[in-house]
Chains A and B, each alone.
Chain A
Amino acid sequence: AQSVAQPEDQVNVAEGNPLTVKCTYSVSGNPYLFWYVQYPNRGLQFLLKYITGDNLVKGSYGFEAEFNKSQTSFHLKKPSALVSDSALYFCAVRSGSGNTGKLIFGQGTTLQVKP
């Protein structure tokens, strides 16, 4: 069965420090991997995705993520956190096989960046 795990409910970092939000996945076939961010009372905003190619993916607002096939991970990173990055982050996966557009989401990680 396909699944996504975000092992941390909350990540706390100081402004200016690097941040990492962890994600591991289980999927049949090659994975398509996504990160979304959700601000209070708003929908999900797309940050970045990995489909194929370079394992390091760069996305919006200075975020990047590294696909690691052997560890089945797709951790979200940013070199220098901003207070405005504080939000709820979701990792999602879909199988590269078949025709379904179904995304499987993790439970989310709350990022708190303190001044």
Chain B
Amino acid sequence: GAGVSQTPSNKVTEKGKYVELRCDPISGHTALYWYRQSLGQGPEFLIYFQGTGAADDSGLPNDRFFAVRPEGSVSTLKIQRTERGDSAVYLCASSLQGARDTQYFGPGTRLTVL
């Protein structure tokens, strides 16, 4: 079946601009996660949704970052006033139900802030 999909695959923007990154989880998966992976590093947790609500947003670095999942399926990660330090690969993952289940990752969105 279809895996996690993310769009766009690449996004180049200018410092100060607003960006939205989209994630389509595996069908039927109720849990969704966002991570950020900088060059040469392991992924870092940003936020975890269970259904429509953010169950854990402790990884969001500051208030420029926000994520939504209004219908409990597709999620959008929103970054305001982008900075060059936001450049990274943003990974989305989903799991069947709760946090105990295996997380399956999408291919990621490579964000470059010029």
- Listed in ascending order, the chain A residues whose CB lies under 8 Å from chain B are 4, 32, 34, 36, 42-46, 49, 51, 90, 92, 94, 99-108
Contact = CB atoms under 8 A, between A and B. Distances in A.
B31 A90 contact: no
A90 B100 CA distance: 18
B102 A34 contact: yes
Given A46-B104, A102-B56, A107 B41 contact: yes
Nearest to A6: B42
A45 B98 CA distance: 19
Interface in B60-114: 91, 93, 95, 98-100, 102-108
A43 B42 contact: no
Given A44-B91, A101-B48, A102-B59, A49 B99 contact: no
B44 interface: yes
B43 A105 contact: yes
Nearest to A32: B100
Interface of B: 4, 31, 33, 35, 40-45, 48, 50, 55-56, 58-59, 91, 93, 95, 98-100, 102-108
Given A43-B91, A44-B105, A108 B42 contact: yes
Contacts of A32: 100
A99 B91 CA distance: 21
Nearest to A46: B102
B55 A99 contact: yes
B45 to A, nearest CB: 4
Nearest to B43: A105
A91 B43 CA distance: 11
